[in-house]
Amino acid sequence: MEHMNRREFVATVGGAAAAALGGCAGLKGGRRPNILFIPIDDLRTELGCYGRDHVISPNIDRLAAGGTVFSRAYCQSAVCNPSRASLLTGKRPDTIKVLDLHTDLRDVSPDVVTLPQYFRRHGYYTASIGKIYHNIFPDETSWDERKYLDGFPFDPDAVYLGDEGKAIQEQRKQRLAAAGRAEQRKDRFGHFYLKAQATEAPDVPDNAYYDGAQTDWAVEKLKELKERTQPFFLAVGYYRPHLPFNAPKKYWDLYDRRTIPLAENDFIPKNVPPMAMNNLRELRGYTDFARHGMPHEDRLSEAEARLLKHGYLASVSYIDAQIGRLLDTLDETGLAGNTIVVLWGDHGWKLGEHNSWCKMTNFDVDTHVPLIFKVPGAAACGRQSAAFVEFVDIYPTLCELARLPVPADMEGLSMKPLLGNPDLPWKSAVFSQFLREGGWVGPDGREYNGYSIRTDRYRYGEWYHRDTREIAGVELYDHASDPGENENIASRPENAALVQELSGRLQAGWKAALP
């Protein structure tokens, strides 16, 4: 697909989307609603339905047009494992003790009942494919059926189909074999997990990569589930737009790299505590960016920045096309009228903001997330809510919508009232946290816990030495004058009373912010 066909592509898909939308008809009869649960890795709010017109996302926009878009939704931690574990348990990271990428939820909170597990206990057939929990912790307990695709690695995000990527992977295999370490880099299926470059754009069909192939399976699974008497909870978790930005060429061809808007605040925030920044470790894991240093000492060239943003947008459009296939199948099978669709990105992602890339901070660009609920019959169909909501709210919301009792130990608040009236007075603040692990900040090798509160006007944060609990850094950003969080104003004398007030609200926690 040539770039000149971009307008035609949007018009064609957008027209089909509008025709297939089906309005806001109510849930059918007395049956419990089905749930189609769609996590998308590293998806930030750079989408058409969030006002970003340069992004080609007609199918996600179609879902938004028939649902409710939450414009101020926040994750509890801006990295995959704690964010997903928190959402899927309705509990905050400190409660479930999952703060990093390598802690298995079941090791530290073995008796917790997850969202799909709860629905399973209440008569739902639960099935999943792709990345729902963190890649390496699929939590088989949650599912009646957990699907893995033949021919793909257990963790299929680093699949390369172009000649350059495959050659780099082969060279790495040979080096590992020569060092006697080849078996250490194989997954449970016997596949190697090896990264190469950060992007590729081969001319291949959608299902040559995992996300397209899993959509093939999910489409057929929806048709099969339609014939069951049980309601279903089907989770389809997409890997793109996580690095590497590997997507079929036709999605790259939708964008002109020269005109893609780059981050306006591509500089380190003034007065920022060093542990508040991330160190690009994730991006430096790819061969063509391995030479780069920390954000305070190095920066990507404009050509590199444009390449990465081009790859990110192409990956978003690739996933958007897969979402369209799922929505089409709901319409074609007649399931749309009794199926709640929930689409979410597990955290935000920096695309050059603060001279940085990837996630792993408490900055708003990392904790602010896309969240769309499409509930047939909801009064807020086609509307947007600016209420503060959090990922811990999704579990109790789905329970209420499915007419299941809400567990008493939830640490979130059901959003069901907002689906009736999106303008209701709601939470006064939302909360996020991040564990900055040893060696990521500098030569001291110390670990830091960062806690953040986002109010209507401010984001305030505190960083503590993890071992001593001594305070090591304070952040304050005024979103009325500085929505990009470009200057930390916590140390200004005139803000001393405000810092004290916000610190008190941070310590009071989420219960004090409830409506």
pLDDT at position 26 over 80: no
Give the per-residue pLDDT at 441. Answer: 58
Alpha-carbon distances, residue 161 vs 42, 168, 173, 245 (angstroms): 22, 11, 16, 12
> Over the stretch 217-263, which tens digit does the pLDDT of each residue have?
999 999 999 999 999 999 999 999 999 999 999 999 999 999 999 99
- Say if CB 67 and CB 373 are below 8 A apart: yes
- The rounded mean pLDDT for the chain is 93
Burial 48-63 (b: 16+ CB within 10 A, else e): bbbeeeebbbbbbbbb
> Residue 183 has what DSSP assignment?
G
Average pLDDT over residues 270-291: 93
Give the per-residue pLDDT at 446. Answer: 84
- Say if CB 82 and CB 93 are below 8 A apart: yes
Give the per-residue pLDDT at 280. Answer: 85
Average pLDDT over residues 339-344: 98
Give the per-residue pLDDT at 4. Answer: 39
Confidence bin at 3 (pLDDT 50/70/90): very low
Average pLDDT over residues 259-281: 94
In the chain, how many H helices and how many E strands? 14, 17
Phi then psi for residue 460, to 5 deg, are -120, 140
Confidence bin at 11 (pLDDT 50/70/90): very low
pLDDT at position 36 over 80: yes
Q: Who's near 451: CB < 8 A, 6+ residues apart? A: 362, 431, 432, 433, 461, 462, 463, 464, 506
User: Chain-centre distance of CA 430, in angstroms?
Assistant: 17
Residues noted as catalytic = 80, 134
Task: Give percent of the chain above pLDDT 70.
Answer: 93
Q: Which residues pair with 328 in a beta bridge?
A: none
- The residue among 100, 76, 92, 43 whose CA lies nearest residue 453 is 76
Cis peptide before 244 (omega within 30 of 0): yes
- The residue among 231, 235, 228 whose CA lies nearest residue 404 is 231
pLDDT at position 20 over 60: no
Average pLDDT over residues 206-215: 98
Confidence bin at 294 (pLDDT 50/70/90): confident
- Say if CB 20 and CB 13 are below 8 A apart: no
Give the per-residue pLDDT at 293. Answer: 86
> Over the stretch 368-391, which tens digit does the pLDDT of each residue have?
999 999 999 999 999 999 999 999
Average pLDDT over residues 327-331: 98
Q: How far apart are CA 124 and CA 318, in angstroms?
A: 30
* Global confidence as pTM: 0.94
Q: How far apart are CA 320 and CA 290, in angstroms?
A: 30
> Over the stretch 465-478, which tens digit does the pLDDT of each residue have?
998 999 999 999 99
> Over the stretch 352-373, which tens digit does the pLDDT of each residue have?
999 999 999 999 999 999 999 9
